[in-house]
DNA sequence: GTTCTAGAAC
DNA sequence: GTTCTAGAAC
């Protein structure tokens, strides 16, 4: 208002006390270096600048666009030049600022159009950044912003636009603005845009291993662009190329090469889009023909890409020169495979997120048949990056792997791959081998080789699909393992679905195992025969966590021949053994051998026959014991929520005369509704398809009552003292549920 | 003082 | 699942 009016057209240049203010609208993602740019200019420039920063304008709270507009207007009125330090990535965001400046003020745009990866890595690393955009969210936010990025045009009202796509561009722009004296103006027009029409840049996500290069390296429009790539990925205008470092203190982050780092990224849930990153199988050390392998990869991807919902498959290779990547890209492109669901990526599979900004919850490992760390290539890298817990977790799942098979291994939350990269599962896969120096060489038999390679990808993708499926359980019944997870929970999440094929594998192994046990178990050593690859698991309804101590029954069920001392009977379906800590004079367990059937909650109608078998075998043993001691009374049933993994039927004598019965919980687990009588369970499963569970914690802490006369007792010793004498008849409901007694001991005690 | 329980650790 | 143990209950 107090400025001279209307005279600037004929005001002689240089006579002015005050120059004409400039408004520079910074355009760039978080981490692109906007604030640094402004600060540098303001430090060096003799012109009065104000930086209007949305990150800081709210004084701790999130700033608003309105605050920025007001602050900018005030500064301009004072004759100051203004930096609008916010992302301003689309014209809608810029419009009002442009309007604020024009026509009195020159409105410039400085576009920091830097590689997404660089922005992400800075945003993630930045601690205490003013915008508070830290950690894992940063990548998602930056990606989302860049996906909708709209580069500024002169037609929006800018008098000058400068595009910076690399270090030297930024340096040049910095010097230009830093050198601006109060009276200077800059030429109008758009500068520095390498390819104004570029709507689609390199399509395939690429990522080069981080390299340090001199800060003054030339512009990196080296354009090693892949012709096939843009057809495959349809990422939006990520005009992101080049070597970049904006400020001296970030100069170490220089990265070389073209960098369309993250392309088809889901809009607002990047971190939660299930993604499998997998290396090309067998084409490296196993010397499988690349042409044939790429054919199979694309064929299998095409087959699975529709079966995995919104999940993504990403073929990863260390080098962009990889022949397999370009073969696959070309073939995928021909087949019009949905590029948002399948693409290739150049990078280190153990650092996809931290170095490449690509979130993958599952990575595949080209494993060796022994499932051992070491060797070389991907296997060594993954085991090394995952830390020792992967080896341990792998051992728990399988001891070896046959070509064509895969095994899903949940990662411990302590593994760096989990905490740093967000990987929840590693799927070990073994492909066919054509290298005479390696085991199981197929000697150029590509008929078998292709078959096995197809099987390997099928196993891998099925394993991934099973994880996707399990992790898609609605909220409330399941916690996303990325955010909250115990190591034990992983066990369950890894349970893959039954596939027809897998079922066969499982059946085969099962027969073999049983045969082995009948023949004194000499056949089934871990290294001489393939271990059941854990694919026969059923989909379960519970997500109970099983600690390491809860696995012993499971191990016995899987390999009863190794536990001969404790095992009384082995059949195809069950193992019978004495409870290690019997709660009565007789207490045995009829253990199901059905893999994946961990507890009563997992039981469905298909298991009815198994339940009947278990009951019959339990009865048989109870009767045997009754022959030895006719005073015994047995009850057969299941715990609603067992502590030990693997479905087991308790056959327990009702004297409860045992030093191992020590706690309230012990008593109540056999003498409240928590104990589900076998006959009831079979009835419920038969009529409702599942058993009724009474797994309320309260049941286990209920007052102690005699199971016969229902009298209450203050503590375990008193209760035990009572039950040793009580001869009251059993309550009707217990009797009805089928207590097993000797004929002369029916219902009542003699 | 002893007995018993409940929760943590394994 | 058990073992261990602090501390509550008696």
What is the pLDDT at residue A397?
84
What is the pLDDT at residue A654?
96
CA A212 to chain CA mean position, Å: 30
Rounded Cα gap, residues A89 and A239, in angstroms: 13
What is the pLDDT at residue A453?
96
Give the residue with minimal CA–C1' separation from C2: A581
Fold of A549-745: HIT family, subunit A (3.30.428)
pLDDT digits (tens, 9 = 90+) for A531-590: 322 223 334 444 567 888 899 999 999 999 988 888 999 999 999 999 999 999 999 999
Does position A500 have pLDDT exceeding 90, yes or no?
no
Residue A703 CB in 7 A reach of strand B: no
Closest nt to residue A658, judged CA to C1': C2
Does position A312 have pLDDT exceeding 60, yes or no?
yes
Query: Does the domain at residues A273-498 carry the CATH identifier 3.40.220?
Result: yes
Does position A320 have pLDDT exceeding 70, yes or no?
yes
State chain A's mean pLDDT as an integer: 76
Rounded Cα gap, residues A734 and A66, in angstroms: 73
The pLDDT > 90 percentage for chain A reads 39
What is the pLDDT at residue A440?
87
DSSP state of A478: B
The pLDDT > 70 percentage for chain A reads 74
Rounded Cα gap, residues A72 and A52, in angstroms: 6
Residue A664 CB in 7 A reach of strand B: yes
Closest nt to residue A717, judged CA to C1': B4
What is the pLDDT at residue A127?
46
- Are A315 and A328 in contact by the 8 Å Cβ rule? The answer is yes
Q: Are strands A567-570 and A587-592 parallel, antiparallel or unpaired?
A: unpaired
C-beta neighbour count of A539 within 10 angstroms: 15
At A597, is the secondary structure helix, strand, or coil?
A: coil
What is the pLDDT at residue A484?
31
Residue A547 CB in 7 A reach of strand B: yes
Q: Give the lowest-confidence range in A164-173, A196-205, A411-420.
A: A196-205
Give the residue with minimal CA–C1' separation from B3: A717
Protein A573 CA to nucleic acid B8 C1', in Å?
A: 37
Protein A716 CA to nucleic acid B5 C1', in Å?
A: 10
The segment with the largest mean pLDDT, out of A340-349, A526-535, A551-560, is A551-560
**Strand C CB-contacts below 7 Å:** A 547, 549-550, 580-581, 639, 642-644, 660, 662, 666, 669, 714
* Torsion of the alpha carbons at A254, A259, A260 and A261, rounded to the nearest 10: -60
Largest CA distance in chain A: 123
Residue A335 CB in 7 A reach of strand B: no
Protein A663 CA to nucleic acid C5 C1', in Å?
A: 15
Catalytic residue among A648, A650, A666, A713: A648
Closest nt to residue A579, judged CA to C1': C1
What is the pLDDT at residue A207?
27
Backbone phi and psi for residue A203, each to the nearest 5 degrees, phi listed first: -85, -45
Protein A549 CA to nucleic acid B9 C1', in Å?
A: 12
Give the residue with minimal CA–C1' separation from B4: A715
Closest nt to residue A704, judged CA to C1': B5
Closest nt to residue A548, judged CA to C1': B10
Q: Which of A285, A327, A302, A296 shows the shortest CA–CA distance to A446?
A: A296
Beta pairing partners, A191: A162
The segment with the largest mean pLDDT, out of A145-149, A305-309, A656-660, is A656-660
C-beta neighbour count of A716 within 10 angstroms: 15
The interaxial angle of helices A323-334 and A290-305, nearest 10 deg, is: 50
DSSP state string for A337-381: --TTTEEEEES-TTSHHHHH----SEEEEE--TT--S-SSHHHHH
What is the pLDDT at residue A542?
47
Protein A714 CA to nucleic acid C9 C1', in Å?
A: 11
What is the pLDDT at residue A31?
84
Protein A714 CA to nucleic acid B8 C1', in Å?
A: 24
Residue A698 CB in 7 A reach of strand B: no
Burial zone of A715 (CB within 10 Å; 0-12 exposed, 13-18 middle, 19+ buried) = exposed
C-beta neighbour count of A162 within 10 angstroms: 24
Mean pLDDT calculated for residue range A638-642: 95
Rounded Cα gap, residues A102 and A157, in angstroms: 8
Residue A70 CB in 7 A reach of strand B: no
Protein A659 CA to nucleic acid C9 C1', in Å?
A: 23
Closest nt to residue A642, judged CA to C1': C1
Q: Which of A526, A627, A616 shows the shortest CA–CA distance to A571?
A: A616
Q: Give the lowest-confidence range in A30-34, A149-153, A274-278, A519-523.
A: A519-523
Burial zone of A45 (CB within 10 Å; 0-12 exposed, 13-18 middle, 19+ buried) = middle
Nucleotides on chain C within 7 angstroms of protein Cβ: 1-3, 10
pLDDT digits (tens, 9 = 90+) for A110-141: 999 887 777 777 776 664 454 555 555 667 77
Rounded Cα gap, residues A234 and A506, in angstroms: 41
Closest nt to residue A664, judged CA to C1': B5
- Whether the upstream peptide bond of residue A258 has omega within 30° of 0, thus cis, is no
Mean pLDDT calculated for residue range A645-670: 95
Confidence of residue A658 (pLDDT cuts 50, 70, 90): very high
Beta pairing partners, A741: A633
Does position A260 have pLDDT exceeding 60, yes or no?
no
Protein A203 CA to nucleic acid C4 C1', in Å?
A: 61
What is the pLDDT at residue A743?
79
Residue A721 CB in 7 A reach of strand B: no
Residue A718 CB in 7 A reach of strand B: yes
Burial zone of A234 (CB within 10 Å; 0-12 exposed, 13-18 middle, 19+ buried) = middle
What is the pLDDT at residue A223?
33
Nucleotides on chain B within 7 angstroms of protein Cβ: 3-6, 10
DSSP state of A475: B
Give the residue with minimal CA–C1' separation from B5: A663
Tokens of A3: 């400025």
- Name the CATH architecture for the domain at A22-253: 3-Layer(aba) Sandwich (3.40)
C-beta neighbour count of A46 within 10 angstroms: 12
What is the pLDDT at residue A241?
30
Does position A59 have pLDDT exceeding 50, yes or no?
yes
Residue A715 CB in 7 A reach of strand B: yes
Closest nt to residue A715, judged CA to C1': B4
Tokens 């900004």 correspond to what residue? A357
Residue A648 falls in the annotated catalytic set: yes
Burial zone of A542 (CB within 10 Å; 0-12 exposed, 13-18 middle, 19+ buried) = middle
Which residue intervals of A87-134 are DSSP H helices? Answer: 91-101, 116-125
* Torsion of the alpha carbons at A460, A462, A465 and A471, rounded to the nearest 10: -90
Protein A657 CA to nucleic acid C3 C1', in Å?
A: 21
Rounded Cα gap, residues A302 and A716, in angstroms: 63
pLDDT digits (tens, 9 = 90+) for A170-223: 888 888 888 888 888 888 888 887 654 443 333 223 222 233 333 333 333 333
Structural domain boundaries in chain A: 22-253, 273-498, 549-745
C-beta neighbour count of A663 within 10 angstroms: 11
What is the pLDDT at residue A134?
53
Residue A549 CB in 7 A reach of strand B: yes
- Are A675 and A681 in contact by the 8 Å Cβ rule? The answer is no
Protein A728 CA to nucleic acid B5 C1', in Å?
A: 28
């Amino acid at each position: 208002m107090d400025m001279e009016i209307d005279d600037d057209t004929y005001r002689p240049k240089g006579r002015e006390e005050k120059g004409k203010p400039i408004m520079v609208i910074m355009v760039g993602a978080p981490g692109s270096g906007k604030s640094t740019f402004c600060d540098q200019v303001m430090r060096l420039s003799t012109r009065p600048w104000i930086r209007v920063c949305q990150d800081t304008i709210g004084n701790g709270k999130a700033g608003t666009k309105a605050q920025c507009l007001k602050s900018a207007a005030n500064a301009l009125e004072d004759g100051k030049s203004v930096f609008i330090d916010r992302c301003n990535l689309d014209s809608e965001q810029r419009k009002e600022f442009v309007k604020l400046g024009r026509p009195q003020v020159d409105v410039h745009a400085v576009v920091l159009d830097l590689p997404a990866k660089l922005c992400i890595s800075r945003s993630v690393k930045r601690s205490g950044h003013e915008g508070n955009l830290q950690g894992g969210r940063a990548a998602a936010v930056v990606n989302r912003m860049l996906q909708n990025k709209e580069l500024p045009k002169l037609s929006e009202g800018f008098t000058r636009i400068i595009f910076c796509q690399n270090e030297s561009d930024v340096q040049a722009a910095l010097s230009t603005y830093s050198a601006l004296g109060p009276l200077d103006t800059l030429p109008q027009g758009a500068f520095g845009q390498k390819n104004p029409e570029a709507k689609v840049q390199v399509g395939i996500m690429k990522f080069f291993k981080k390299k340090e290069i001199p800060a003054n390296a030339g512009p990196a429009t080296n354009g090693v662009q892949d012709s096939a790539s843009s057809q495959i990925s349809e990422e939006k205008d990520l005009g992101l190329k080049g070597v970049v470092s904006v400020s001296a203190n970030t100069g170490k982050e220089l990265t070389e090469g073209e960098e369309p780092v993250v392309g088809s990224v889901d809009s607002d849930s990047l971190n939660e889009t299930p993604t499998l990153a997998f290396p090309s199988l067998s084409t490296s050390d196993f010397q499988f023909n690349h042409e044939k392998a790429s054919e199979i990869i694309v064929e299998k991807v095409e087959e699975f890409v529709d079966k995995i919902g919104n999940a993504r498959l990403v073929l990863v290779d260390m080098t962009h020169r990889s022949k397999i990547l370009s073969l696959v890209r070309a073939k995928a492109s021909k087949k019009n495979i949905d590029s948002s669901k399948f693409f290739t990526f150049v990078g280190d599979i153990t650092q996809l997120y931290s170095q490449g900004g690509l979130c993958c919850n599952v990575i595949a490992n080209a494993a060796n048949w022994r499932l051992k760390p070491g060797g070389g290539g991907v296997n060594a890298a993954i085991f090394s990056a995952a830390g020792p817990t992967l080896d341990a977790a792998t051992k728990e799942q399988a001891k070896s792997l046959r070509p064509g098979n895969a095994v899903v291994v949940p990662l411990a939350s302590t593994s760096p791959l989990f905490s740093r990269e967000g990987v929840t599962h590693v799927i070990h896969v073994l492909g066919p081998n054509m290298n005479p120096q390696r085991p199981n060489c197929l000697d150029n038999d590509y008929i078998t080789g292709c078959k096995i390679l197809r099987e390997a990808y099928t196993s891998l993708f099925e394993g991934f699909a099973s994880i996707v499926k399990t992790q898609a359980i609605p909220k409330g019944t399941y916690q996303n393992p990325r955010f909250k997870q115990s190591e034990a929970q992983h066990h369950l999440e890894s349970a893959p679905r039954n596939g027809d094929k897998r079922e066969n594998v499982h059946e085969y192994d099962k027969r073999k195992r049983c045969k082995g046990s009948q023949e004194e178990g000499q056949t089934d050593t871990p290294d001489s025969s393939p271990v059941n690859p854990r694919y026969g698991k059923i989909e379960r309804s519970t997500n109970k966590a099983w600690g390491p101590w809860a696995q012993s029954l499971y191990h016995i069920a899987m390999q009863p021949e190794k536990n001969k001392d404790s095992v009384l009977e082995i059949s195809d379906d069950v193992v019978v053994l004495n409870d290690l800590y019997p709660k009565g004079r007789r207490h045995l367990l009829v253990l199901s051998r059905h893999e994946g059937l961990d507890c009563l909650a997992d039981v469905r109608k298909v298991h009815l026959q198994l339940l009947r078998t278990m009951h019959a075998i339990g009865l048989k043993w109870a009767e045997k014991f009754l022959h030895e001691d006719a005073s015994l009374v047995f009850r057969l049933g299941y715990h609603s929520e067992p502590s030990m993994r693997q479905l087991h039927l308790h056959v327990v004598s009702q004297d409860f005369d045992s030093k191992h019965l020590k706690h309230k919980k012990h008593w109540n687990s056999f003498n409240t509704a928590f104990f589900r009588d076998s006959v009831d369970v079979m009835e419920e499963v038969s009529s409702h398809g599942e058993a009724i569970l009474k797994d309320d914690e309260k049941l286990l802490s209920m007052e102690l009552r005699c199971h016969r006369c229902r009298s209450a007792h203050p503590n375990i010793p008193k209760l035990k003292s009572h039950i040793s004498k009580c001869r009251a008849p059993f309550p009707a409901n217990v009797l009805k549920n089928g207590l097993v007694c000797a004929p002369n001991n029916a219902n009542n005690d003699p």
